[in-house]
Structure 1
Amino acid sequence: MKSSKFEPWHGASYGVALALALATVSTSPLSAASAAQDTAPWQDITPKSGLSGWRTTGGAATYDVVDGELVGRAMVGKTNSWLVSDARFGDYIMEFDAKTDPLLNSGVMVRGQSRPDYRNGVVHGYQAEIDPSPRAWSGGMYDEQRRQWLYSLGRNDAARSTFRSGDWNHYRIEAIGNRLRTWINGVPATDVVDDTDAAGFIAFQVHAIPDRDAARHPEARFRNIRVITDRPQRFAMPETGLEQQGWLANRLGDRERKAGWTLLWDGRTGAGWRSAKGGAFPTKGWSIANGALSVTGGGGDIVTATPYRNFELSVDFRIAEGANSGIKYRIAPDGSGIGLEYQLLDDARHPDAKMGRDGNRTLASLYDLIPASNLLDPASPGKRINPPGEWNRAVIVVRGNHVEHWLNGFKMVAFERGSPAFRAAVSQSKFANVAGFGEWPESPILLQDHGDHVDFRSIKLRKF
């Protein structure tokens, strides 16, 4: 899901501060870091005529160097194209300017990967997004051909608003250790902690285009491409206040801890969880192995030992084909397990997806009440789902009566508990006769045993 903070971080002043730092003498950390860039050991890696040190792969786009600018021209097809560096990079800082046709999505690979045993050598891995669409997620971190969005800009309006479609935009990328950060036109865009790839190539993407755009051959242009590879941590920018998205399995990043996140599951034992019917952690139907908490059926629901009122909950889940489960909150105090539910479902194979009303029993929906829909990008109403057997991320935000469901960086549901619209939905649901449904002030978090195999990990929460 694309910042994990509920309110967007207002970072527009960052670019102003950076400009002032370059023009004035100051002892602030920002100005010190800005001044250090002038003496940093930058290396120009802008491709030269002939593209020596680079290779093309993927689709049919053409790459050329014109007046010192790398120009990629899109071609009709279904496969995206890449200009890939022969060199591999581990820790580094990179800056470049990019300009794309408003029709053309693009991106730059950070520690990119390609190997024969993974999808026939397709380019995959971390990508700094260039997104000229109205969604404007430029600077976001996308896991190309793998997990999709690691950090969308769904909660970072400051970065979204700074991108200039059809014009030059300045990017900065810091890949240092297991931390990846991006800036767009001086505004912090993403802060990701992930340990999947420690090194890889740099690559410039050109999307394929449909037949209707064939006559235009839209372009993606890049210039002033430079890197620091010699101890780049010396030239890293100061902390920005942007929320961090952690992808370390069952672990928290430093800034996640500082933001108040705690793990609800330790990755090894059943500590902190118990049977929803009371007593200890189930002795059957649930298992713990290889960093996953798995339900296989027959053990009953489990709940946290602690109740929660206002919180943000993040859960990575992996469903088997045809599986059904759920994450419940604001559950009834009578021990019945009835409550608000973030539906977990294989929409393509489980019959529940076609039941209820208007799809309100599908993945990420408020079960039997409100169907999931892409609220951040109405032009693309579908869900971004990784298929059964691969990990997805569910996020639930409860702040007073306001509730949101997020799936893989996209907001899918938003509602107000107790509102006329909410109560109307309840009246048409299977919970119509449950007094006070969903309006209880607090409750434990519940993981549902619906008899199917579902894995959970990286279960983390922060209280508001």
Structure 2
Amino acid sequence: MFSSLKKISLLTLSAFTLITAANAQKSKPLFDGKTLNGWKIVAGKAPYAVENGMIVGTMKAGSPNSFLITEKEYGDFILELDVKLEGTETNSGVQTRSHYDAEGNKGAGKVFGRQMEIDPTPRAWTGGIYDEARRLWLYPLESNPAAKAAYKTEEFNHYKIECIGNEMKTWVNGVPASYVIDTLDKSGFIALQVHGLGNKTYLEGKKVYFKNINIQTENLKPTAFPKSVYVVNLTPNTLSAQEKANGYKLLFDGKTNNGWVGAYKDAFPAKGWVIADGQLNVMPSDGGESTNGGDIVTKDQFAAFDLSFEFKLTEGANSGVKYFVTLAEGNKGSAIGLEYQVLDDAKHPDAKLGRDGNRTLASLYDLMKADKKLGSPRPIGTWNRGRVVVYPD
């Protein structure tokens, strides 16, 4: 199922309210409603002030992203607050378990960590999870489109963020939005963002409001998410209890080639593929099609399915994830099937071939160009996440 001119690594293939009175007693305010005691501004120049019992951040032209961060760090917690953002042309967010690099951004300072998004733009990703200044989008709301309608423009919206163990869950006005399992960041500060304006300087003076900020750090009990909500599990080669309950299984165990054989072969290729450090690695070839180890295919066959995988490219690499491969052709080269393209668009010539970009990263090869607006491809040499969903009809 994979071919490559240069090395590519693959891991983790897997197929298919409001605060209650009881919780209020356990929660503590992070904001006293009068002062910014316990908070400090870093990274940008946008001002924060207290007005009518609210923290108000004001957008400032020429400033990068600004953050009002807690002086204290938190590990496991449930955070609830109300937020309102003026306009529909920019975004904001609430940082969790985050960190500050004072030397980052050429000395201007950099905040990084997972953020619950406030996004009133037409894509409507409010409640999604973005890894600020690091891995970018972890959970765009295309993974849970039912939650897009939860946000109310120009009104206060109730946010709930649950960080317990490796799991982060979010809710917008009581609607389950995002569910990420991640091994990074066991603790860190909480922060309120005012986004930089870039070339949208006409938005200077627009405000973002935060109030009723409460946190619970003891006697925590994870809240169940509906089974219908997709889980982004970034723990290598591991399934969560929810994924198992939903019928997912691992296609790669991180240690062996169990379940895989070479295309048009009876065994796994003797060369061209290496399993190490929990990764399935395609080794460099001479550039000819399937001239090294060739494609590999699953022993099991699938019809309707939900397939997730992580992949990492070296510079100039070309590969792919194929499906509906029958091997009926008896082809001597690559296996034939539909293909999720895995490619270095900048350095491999295949990106400029085909039609209208339908050979670029994440495209349905030679058939349909990927919409990169639905997710931010990460740089070559870092892990990206792909997903293919095939419905019965």
Residues 388-399 of structure 1 aligned to structure 2 (within 5 Å): 388-399=380-391
Query: What is the DSSP-based 3-state SS (H/G/I as helix, E as strand, rest coil) of the residue aligned with 2:148?
Result: helix
Q: Given the superposition, is the C-alpha separation of residues 108 and 212 from structure 1 closer, same or farther in structure 2, using an over 3 Å criterion?
A: closer
CA contact (8 A) 1:59 1:77 kept: no
Equivalent residue, structure 1, for 2:119 = 131
Q: Could you tell me how far 1:185 is from its partner in structure 2?
A: 0.6
Instruction: Name the CA distance, whole Å, in 2 between partners of 1:126 and 1:302.
Output: 35
Write out per-residue CA displacement over residues 357-403 of structure 1, whole angstroms, 9 at most, x where no aligned residue: 111111111112222225xxxxxx586210110111111111235xx
Distance 1:35 1:181 in 2: 21
Q: Which moved more, 1:93-102 or 1:142-151?
A: 142-151
Alignment partners' CA distance in 1, 2:66 and 2:232: 28
* Aligned match for 1:162, one of 150, 157, 181: 150
* Residue in 1 that maps onto 2:135: 147
Secondary structure, in 3 states, of the residue corresponding to 2:141? coil
- Once the two structures are superposed, residues 33-64 of structure 1 have per-residue CA deviations (whole angstroms, 9 ceiling, x without a partner) of x45324x3211111665523222112221111
Equivalent residues of 1:276, 1:335 under 8 A apart: no
Q: Is the 8 A contact 1:5 1:243 kept in 2?
A: no
- Amino acid across the alignment from 1:334: E
Letter in 2 for 1:114: Y
Q: 1:334 aligned to 323, 329, 333, which one? A: 329
Q: Is the 8 A contact 2:75 2:187 kept in 1?
A: yes
CA distance in 2, matches of 1:254, 1:215: 45
Q: Is the 8 A contact 1:75 1:214 kept in 2?
A: no
Question: Is the contact made by 2:308 and 2:385 (CA closer than 8 Å) also made in structure 1?
Answer: yes
Q: Equivalent residue for 2:4? A: none
Please give the alpha-carbon distance, in whole angstroms, between the structure 1 residues aligned to 2:268 and 2:207. 58
Higher helix proportion? 1
AA at the equivalent of 2:386: A
| Residue 227 of structure 1: aligned partner | 215
Task: Quote the residue 2:306 is aligned against.
Answer: 312
CA contact (8 A) 1:340 1:367 kept: yes
2: CA distance between counterparts of 1:397 and 1:215? 39
Give the match for residue 275 of structure 1.
Answer: 262
Deviations 1:196-237 (A, max 9, x none): 11111000000111455447411111001010112322xx43
- The yes-or-no answer on 1:105 pairing with 2:91 is yes
Distance verdict in 2 for CA 1:330–1:373, change over 3 Å: same
Q: In structure 2, what is the equivalent of residue 185 of structure 1? A: 173
Q: From 269, 275, 283, give the equivalent of 1:288.
A: 275
Aligned to 2:189: 201
- Letter paired with 1:161: A
Change (3 A) 1:119 1:388: farther
Q: CA deviation at 1:80?
A: 0.7
AA at the equivalent of 2:387: V
- How far apart are 1:239 and its partner, in Å? 4.1
2: CA distance between counterparts of 1:369 and 1:289?
A: 34
Amino acid aligned to 2:147: A
Which residue among 46, 59, 68 is the counterpart of 2:44? Answer: 59
Aligned partner letter, 1:388: I
Pair 1:47–1:77, CA change in 2 (3 A): farther
The code of the aligned residue for 2:183 comes to D
Distance in 1 (CA, whole Å) between partners of 2:80 and 2:355 is: 49
Match of 2:288 in 1: none
| Contact residue 104 and residue 220 of structure 1 kept, 8 A | no
Tell which has more relative contact order, 1 or 2 (C-alpha 8 A, sep 6+): 2
Contact 2:66 2:193 in 1 (8 A): yes
RMSD over aligned Cα, in angstroms?
Answer: 2.4
1:349 to 2:336 alignment: no
How far, CA to CA, are the matches of 1:212 and 1:158 in structure 2? 30
Quick one: which amino acid aligns to residue 294 of structure 2?
Answer: G
The match for 1:368 is: 366
What's the TM-score once normalised by structure 1's chain length? 0.74
What is the TM-score of this pair, normalised by structure 2?
A: 0.87
**Cα gap change, 1:300/1:268 in structure 2, threshold over 3 Å: closer, same or farther?**
same
Residue 235 (structure 2) pairs with residue 237 (structure 1): no
What is the aligned-residue identity percentage? 45
Q: Hey, what's the Cα distance between the residues in 1 that align with 2:363 and 2:99?
A: 34
Q: Retained in 2: the 8 A contact 1:331–1:339?
A: yes
For structure 2, the 5+ residue unaligned runs are 1-13, 286-291
